[in-house]
Structure 1
Amino acid sequence: MGFEKGGGRDHDVEAAKDVDDVVGISFFKSKFRYNSPLVQVCLIGLVCFCCPGMFNALSGMGGGGQVNPTAANNANTALYTTFAIFGILGGGIYNVLGPKFTLMAGCSTYVLYAGSLLYYNHIKKQPFVVTAGGILGIGAGLLWAGQGAIMTSYPPKARKGTYISIFWSIFNMGGVIGGLIPFVLNYHREKAASVNDGTYIAFMAFMSLGTLLALVILPPNKVIRDDGTRCSDIKYSKVSTEAIAISKLFLNWKMLLIVPAAWSSNFFYTYQFNHVNAGLFNLRTRGLNNVFYWGAQMIGSIGIGYILDFSFTSRRLRGFVGIGIVAAVSTAIWSGGLANQLAYPQDLAVDNKIDFVKSGNDFAGPFVLYFSYGLLDAMFQSLVYWVIGTLADDSVTLSRYVGFYKGVQSAGAAVAWQVDTNKASLISQLVVNWSLTTLSYPLLVVLIALAVKDQSKGEEGGTVVAESPTAAVGNDANENEDDLSKAS
């Protein structure tokens, strides 16, 4: 349309056709531009592959790979307590500092935590480990707030589920590789109770790499989608603005409906890591189990991502169907968990730990259960991220929403680690985990019903596309003005 105005009409129309031809030819390549949403989501996935991915593998060993989980439990309590605070504040800090500095500061704390466990391998004293856990909670709050803003605001509106699954797959590949590290390095230490020094050193190397990778993440105003629109074009916020905006989240009915899902989404790790994986299996088998636990997360995120983006034309209907599927899978898996719990002693601390080589059929059932727990974790969290991503489009608002989610999630995890330290019965832990996740599903249904709108035909990913790159950029300028008014 804009090419028809002014002199040289024929020349401009021909130029427009040439541009459209070039865009069509290079459409595939354009997805792999450094400043494309896909590349940036993949890069943040690699950052999380190296840092929280490796941390997850370490935690999945049970007790941080130590014979006595008390030190790791106390460190995790400190971690998730500070995480709860800085998870909520993290969105505001991200809006002030931008992605590079926020992510790099967060990643560096993972290296310190892994180093503290290496220290504990030789000096059996808790204070350094617990302190490092508290510092990691600060860093994790910054990292995950930035990650959430990128993952929910950079993708096209109609493909958020797909991009979330791409991120989740790359991120959890870190858990797969991280699970292989203790498996390989401790394979011939069948009777060993704690992992060797090389295991922690390998984790520290990956985490250091992730800290450096954070420098390649672009701010939202430099990320351009394939149709020419920018993800966001706003100036960094002020501390006072963020403080007011974050405080309002506690009165935001949308966030309140997410609280049960957020609280429960890391609550179950304590039970699964300490009392299924570490409680039933020997050291080398725990490493193998983690490879499949985090591998199952890749499968779960891809499956639910497809349903949330492609199953139906209506976005709200896709959300309802996604919740229904996750709820059904959750019920089946936690039922299996209950059957497994009742078949073992109350503390699950069996004398003869299951070994994948020597235990035969006794290995199969608990292994499938632990694999299924990983599948459910990814489906559940990907679903919640997708729901949050439908509530807004700009990175400023979404960074606050995700920060709130991670803060509440971490508060739940802090409570869970202390519940375990105080020797709560395992059947009680299982029932609480199952109940919390079940409670979240109807509330997410209400949230989608009241707050999520179906995309109009003119929205990105709908049936109508911009007529030219110039028109698309012009439209984006108007959308950014609307986003700014909403954010304020």
Structure 2
Amino acid sequence: MGSNEYEESGTQLPRNTKSSSIFRYNSPFVQVILIGLVCFCCPGMFNALSGMGGGGQVNATASNNSLTALYTFFSIFGILGGGIYNILGPHLTLFAGCSTYVLYSGSFLYYNHYQHQAFAIISGGILGIGAGLLWAAQGAIMTSYPPVNRKGTYISIFWSIFNMGGVIGGLIPFILNYHNDAATVNDGTYIGFMVFMAGGAVLSLAILPASKVIRDDGTRCTNIMYSNVTTEFFEILKLFSNWKMLLMIPAAWSSNFFYTYQFNHVNKTQFTLRTRGLNNVFYWGAQMLGSVGIGYVMDFSFKSRRKRGIVGICVVAVLGCSIWGGAIANQIQRNIHETLDFKDSGSHFAGPFVLYFTFGLLDAMFQSMVYWVIGTLNNDSEILSRYAGFYKGIQSAGSAVAWQIDNHSVTPLNQLIVNVVLTTISYPLMLVLVLRAVKDNDPEEEPVNQVTPSSRNNVFTQ
């Protein structure tokens, strides 16, 4: 094929180039796997630590305060993170973000010995900055790198790898504290988390910039190498008047708000220390199942992309209402003086355990659904990094409020009711967003960010 014919044909690479393996280093598939492994090591381990309730401590005050500081800064840098990612690129953004996770786990190792919460609160604030950077970068990669008709599948791949970190992270305190009769986890637990998090920081350097990632149809994820501060400032401001983002606010606010109730008032208060670690193995394992299930619905259930979105939201809504109904029944019936153990509590253990398992299932399905909708709004990494940052910023603001609500001794039942209301409101608004903003069919090829003829010889070797 001559160069003129190539240019006139649309933007396709030669046939033998298009069929190159998805396992090449600069393919979206490999890059999504890499960001999944980074999140396996860093936020995956953080989730396991948080999921134990109180950061593994008998008194949740230090953890609640550190998480409030974390999500306060996260809400700011989550929104700014997309712009920072567009300016700095993935290497600096991700490495800086991942490094803060190691500091956070180290602060609880310190707290285990000295019981001073100032270090935990300061490190929580620093982690909020780092998490904002990491998740904005992750959101851009997960929603913009995949092919347009397989975003649900790639999201489920990422979510499964990421949540395997929670599974392994749950095994660490379970194994290390199996014969521990104390109410707090031992030093080895925190050290184990720190080793994984440090590994994630190093691995983040393997992520390629969007301009070097080539989809199988020959398109780049973006043509922009780096943005600038002025552009990002004004583009981020525009998000607050963007009707698509405004419709997403209730879903974003509620999507981490329920962690406080689930971790502190189900797992922490109803189960023994070793059982909490075991519960987290299944909680994060359920996330893997949930992400795969909703990913299939969002990508393969119907030919019409809009119809897939509507069905996916309805599936999550029905499941969510059922699970929260079970949570209300459990909260009303529970015996506050009974602490359940997986070996010693017999049939009393089964109901709360299944409830906690389904919490994990719902979390993954809910967030994968939202990410899929974000991914359908555009295909360019530069734009989607801002959308993902906005989502994580609002999500983190909700988390900051939730942890302080718990610190002010709001009853568990009232916290639960707020969670039910917030998630229920978000479903019809997400349906409106899909109906108004999502194109009905997946385009076979999109004329954006295409590889030029001059670059076709080195497209798959960068």
Q: Give the match for residue 423 of structure 2.
A: 437
Letter in 1 for 2:87: V
| 2:227 alignment partner, SS class | coil
Structure with max Cα Rg:
1
Q: Is the 8 A contact 2:3 2:453 kept in 1?
A: no
- 1:353 partner amino acid: T
Q: In structure 1, which of residues 304, 308, 312 is the aligned counterpart of residue 298 of structure 2?
A: 308
Q: Within 5 A, what are the aligned runs for 1:85-484?
A: 85-189=76-180, 191-345=181-335, 348=336, 350=337, 352-455=338-441, 457-459=443-445, 473-474=451-452
TM-score, normalised relative to structure 1: 0.89
- State the AA in 2 paired with 1:427: L
Deviation at 1:457, TM superposition (A): 5.0
Would you say the 8 A contact 1:179–1:290 is kept in 2? yes
Question: Secondary structure of the equivalent of 1:392?
Answer: coil
Deviations 1:244-288 (A, max 9, x none): 110111111110000000000000000000010001000000000
CA separation of 1:450 and 1:278: change in aligned 2, threshold 3 A: same
After TM superposition, give the deviation of residue 455 of structure 1 in Å: 3.0
SS in 2 for 1:157: coil
Contact 2:220 2:450 in 1 (8 A): no
Q: Superposition RMSD on alpha carbons, in Å?
A: 2.1
CA contact under 8 A between 1:230 and 1:476: conserved in structure 2? Answer: no
Amino acid at match of 2:301: S
Q: Aligned residues, how many?
A: 449
Unaligned runs of 5+ in 2: 7-11, 456-462
Name the CA distance, whole Å, in 2 between partners of 1:104 and 1:57.
21
Q: 2:110, 2:395 → 1: CA distance?
A: 29
Deviates more, 1:160-169 or 1:224-233: 224-233
Percentage identity across paired residues of the two chains: 69
Residues 146-173 of structure 1 deviation map (CA, whole Å, 9 limit, x = unaligned): 0000000000000000000000000000
Aligned pair in 2 of structure 1 residues 364, 237: CA closer, same or farther (>3 Å)?
same
Distance 1:127 1:401 in 2: 33
> For each residue in 1:449-482, what CA deviation from the matched residue of structure 2 results, as whole angstroms up to 9, or x when unmatched?
111112355436xxxxx9xxxx9745999xxxxx
State TM-score, norm by structure 2: 0.94
Shift in CA distance, 476/395, structure 1 to aligned 2, threshold 3 Å: farther
**Structure 1 counterpart of 2:30:** 39
Q: Which residue of 2 aligns with 1:482?
A: none
User: Aligned partners of 2:307 and 2:333: how far apart in 1?
Assistant: 40
CA spacing shift, 1:457–1:386, aligned 2, 3 Å: closer
* Residue 459 of structure 2: aligned partner: none
- 1:12 aligns with none
1:79 to 70, 75, 80: 70
User: Does the Cα contact within 8 Å between 1:53 and 1:175 map onto a contact in 2?
Assistant: yes
What CA distance in whole angstroms lies between the structure 1 residues aligned with 2:4 and 2:421? 62
Distance in 2 between residues matched to 1:4 and 1:142, nearest whole Å: 42
Secondary structure, counterpart of 2:215 in structure 1: coil
Counterpart amino acid of residue 77 in structure 1? T
8 Å Cα contact 1:262/1:406 also seen in 2:
yes
- Alpha-carbon distance change, 240 to 4 in structure 1, aligned in 2, over 3 angstroms: closer
Partner Cα separation in structure 2 for residue 472 and residue 89 of structure 1: 28
What secondary structure, in the 3-state scheme, does the structure 1 residue paired with 2:150 have? helix
- C-alpha distance 294-314 of structure 1, shift in aligned 2 (>3 A): same
1:229 Cα offset (Å): 1.9
Deviation (angstroms), 1:353: 1.5
